[in-house]
Amino acid sequence: MPLAGLLQPLLSQLNSGVVLLDAELKLVFINQFIARRADLQPEDVKGKSLFEVFSDLPQAWLQRKLHGVLSLQVPAFSSWEQRQYIFKLPHLRPLSSDSAYMAQNCSMLPLTAADTGERYICILVEDATDAYVYQQQLQHSVARLQLANRTDGLTGVFNRSYWQQQLGYEIQRAERYQHPLSLLLFDLDKFKQLNDHYGHLGGDAVLIEVARLVAALLRDTDLLGRYGGEEFGIILPETDLTGAMQVAQRLCSAVAAHRVAFEQQQLLATISLGVTGFTSGLSSDQLIQQADEALYSAKRQGRNQAVAWRDSQSVYLKKVK
């Protein structure tokens, strides 16, 4: 029968790995696909333990799978999506991939020899590096898109919708764990004059520079967002009103002391800040409203300062309105 003579050449040409094991998990056969990539001679490994020849295998896990294949006589599978590879082998696209090893789909199949009835396992190894690389690229693109979706184009801080969404989450968290949380709104003083005097490019330069300066003074867990034209918001988790006022004063003096370079000139800018602390039961809109009222007081009291929200302010504001 010609088939028997063709099987070996077929197996050696096959673009998938074939590893044949006996019931003691000793190697019976490996094809060229595996041998060349692992730099082994098929003749040398015959009769040796699988785990001795391939010492990098996830032994406990793989043994359990192979035991299942033998005793239940059902196939087992491993996908690159859950486990990138079983056999640590190089792949043929080293330049286009950030992974050093071949991503693999493996099937572990129960086999019974037709003549002797003895049981074997065949591990089929398919190269899934292309799919792996493609998915990695996709993930990078998605991450970039997500970042773009929540970033303010001009200043690079969070945009309003993302920032407000985060405020909602932080309020839920503060409520659930009874942790302190503060909110800070600030506004560039006399921004309209700045724009009129230096043009929109000058105004933009100040916005970018102030956002950068403020961001550098915050903790990693604080969330800075651009709330409107020249208005910004800062969510300060795990911070009570006293702590938030200290932050506000620090930001106020830092901005006032800074000079923004624009077309060989040094621009001066100041900010006014409104600060409020979260108390149980407040919605994010109410919290923003309070910070806004405090900010209004800061402006009214002469700008370049921070004011904490007090209940009486709203009473006062209603009167003047």
Partner 1 sequence: MTTLHFTEEQRDCLQELVNVAMGQASDKLARYLETMVHLQVPAIKLVDTQQLPEHFAKRYQQQSVSLISLGFFGDQGLRGETIMLYQLANVGVLAKLLGYSDDDSSEDEMLTDISSVLTTTFLNGLAEQLDNSFSYAAPRILSSRDEHFADKLAATAQQWQLALQVDIRYQLTDYSFHCDMILLIPGEAVLRLRQMLDQILADF
Q: Give me the residues that bind partner 1 (CB under 8 A), please.
A: 58, 60-61, 64-65, 68, 71-79, 81-83, 105, 107
Contacts of 298 (CB under 8 A, 6+ apart): 272, 273, 274, 305, 306, 307
Structure tokens at 54: 């391939």
Q: How far is the CB of 144 from partner 1 (least distance, A)?
A: 25
Q: How far is the CB of 120 from partner 1 (least distance, A)?
A: 16
User: Can you give the three-state secondary structure of 98-110, one letter per residue?
Assistant: CCCCCCEEEEEEE
Angle (nearest 5°) at CA 179 between 290 and 176: 95
Contact 260, 209 (CB under 8 A): yes
Q: How far is the CB of 110 from partner 1 (least distance, A)?
A: 10
Q: How far is the CB of 81 from partner 1 (least distance, A)?
A: 8
Q: Which is nearer to partner 1, 58 or 156 (CB)?
A: 58
Query: What are the DSSP calls for 52-72, one per residue?
Result: HHSTTS-HHHHHHHHHHHHHH
Q: How far is the CB of 250 from partner 1 (least distance, A)?
A: 44
Q: Which is nearer to partner 1, 77 or 169 (CB)?
A: 77
Q: Which is nearer to partner 1, 104 or 305 (CB)?
A: 104
CA distance 268 to 256: 7
Structure tokens at 185: 């709104």
Contact 57, 72 (CB under 8 A): no
Q: Which is nearer to partner 1, 79 or 161 (CB)?
A: 79
Q: How far is the CB of 79 from partner 1 (least distance, A)?
A: 6
Catalytic annotation on 230? yes
Q: Which is nearer to partner 1, 105 or 276 (CB)?
A: 105
Q: Can you tell me which residue has the tokens 């990138």?
A: 84
From 230, 231, 238, 263, active-site residue: 230
How many whole angstroms from its chain centre is CA 53?
A: 38
Q: Which is nearer to partner 1, 74 or 154 (CB)?
A: 74
Contacts of 262 (CB under 8 A, 6+ apart): 198, 201, 202, 205, 206
CA distance 131 to 140: 14
Question: What positions carry a catalytic annotation?
Answer: 230
